[in-house]
Amino acid sequence: MTQDDKWLAIDDYIVENFLEADPVLEAAQAACDAAGLPAIQVAPLQGKLLMMLARALQARKILEVGTLGGYSTIWLARGLAEGGHVTTLELDPRHAEIAQANFENAGLGDKITVRVGPALDSMAALHTEGAGPFDLIFIDADKPSTPDYFDWAVKLARPGSFIVVDNVVREGAILAAQSDNKHVKGLRAFYARAAADPRVTATAFQTVGHKGHDGLAIVQVTQAPSD
Ligand SMILES: C[S@@+](CC[C@H](N)C(=O)[O-])C[C@H]1O[C@@H](n2cnc3c(N)ncnc32)[C@H](O)[C@@H]1O
């Protein structure tokens, strides 16, 4: 067995043990595939982690940056406390439309709002509207903007909130300090910003399996933002 085969077999083993058949999410993913959306949604085990984090935080307000077809949004909404709500931000109206249909089909239409437009504008508007503080914020949109999403996320959070950032390993490309790749540059800038920010404490872990070698960063806000 090659090392890669071993990683995949372990991924399968964990899935077999910890995930059950999930017709709702399978139907949502099938709708995304049928619509030709790229298969860049979180892996099921990572989606379940988002749900468990939401539950642990007893989250009443969750913000997601990057909806796609709503796969991760459904996991997040499943972790909401009673009466809670997910706001998810998406640039592409077609993605938003498919996601909205998935939320209705999942029976979650009243618990999720999709805001269409550039996420930086939507986050600024949410701040102006006083929509926060959000208990959990998941950042998974265009990677060059990740440092700016992180800054807005801290402003929209409270002490104790968690900010989760996807794709922080990128098959190891994250190590390339001189990289011209805009995705790598964006994520390296996020690491630097989170590391230097006295209002947060952060960790990250690598994931390996059918979605390749990547990782999630988990940031806890420890101090109230000043504005
Ligand atoms: C990786 S996908 C999100 C996957 C989703 N979180 C999941 O796991 O199911 C990234 C999404 O971010 C959206 N996006 C890209 N740039 C954006 C922007 N500036 N503002 C809002 N959404 C954006 C893309 O259209 C795409 O649907």
Question: How far is ligand 1, taken at its centre, from the CA of residue 13, in Å?
Answer: 29
Task: Render pLDDT for 56-107 as a digit per residue (tens, 0 to 9).
Answer: 999 999 999 999 999 999 999 999 999 999 999 999 999 999 999 999 999 9
Does the beta carbon of 102 lie inside 6 Å of ligand 1?
Answer: no
Which domain, by its residues, includes 114? 3-221
Question: How far is ligand 1, taken at its centre, from the CA of residue 1, in Å?
Answer: 36
Statement: residue 138 has pLDDT above 90: yes
Question: How far is ligand 1, taken at its centre, from the CA of residue 64, in Å?
Answer: 9
What mean pLDDT do residues 211-220 have? Answer: 95
Tokens 């090392």 sit at which residue? Answer: 3
At 145, the amino acid letter reads S
What mean pLDDT do residues 154-166 have? Answer: 98
Average pLDDT, the chain: 96
Question: How far is ligand 1, taken at its centre, from the CA of residue 143, in Å?
Answer: 9
Question: How far is ligand 1, taken at its centre, from the CA of residue 165, in Å?
Answer: 12
Does the beta carbon of 66 lie inside 6 Å of ligand 1?
Answer: yes
Indicate the top mutation candidate among 24, 25, 26, 40 to test ligand 1's pocket, ranked by most ligand atoms within 8 A of CB: 40
Interface pTM (ipTM) of the complex?
A: 0.99
Confidence at residue 182, expressed as pLDDT on a 0 to 100 scale: 97
Statement: residue 189 has pLDDT above 80: yes
The whole-model pTM stands at 0.97
Total domains in the chain come to 1
Statement: residue 227 has pLDDT above 70: no
CATH number at residue 55: 3.40.50.150
Report yes or no on 226 lying in a domain: no
Cα distances from 108 to residues 10, 83, 84, in angstroms, run: 32, 12, 11
Q: Whose CA is nearest to atom 27 of ligand 1?
A: 68
Report yes or no on 227 lying in a domain: no
Does the beta carbon of 41 lie inside 6 Å of ligand 1?
Answer: yes
d(CA 105, CA 124): 30
Does the beta carbon of 116 lie inside 6 Å of ligand 1?
Answer: no
Q: Whose CA is nearest to atom 8 of ligand 1?
A: 41
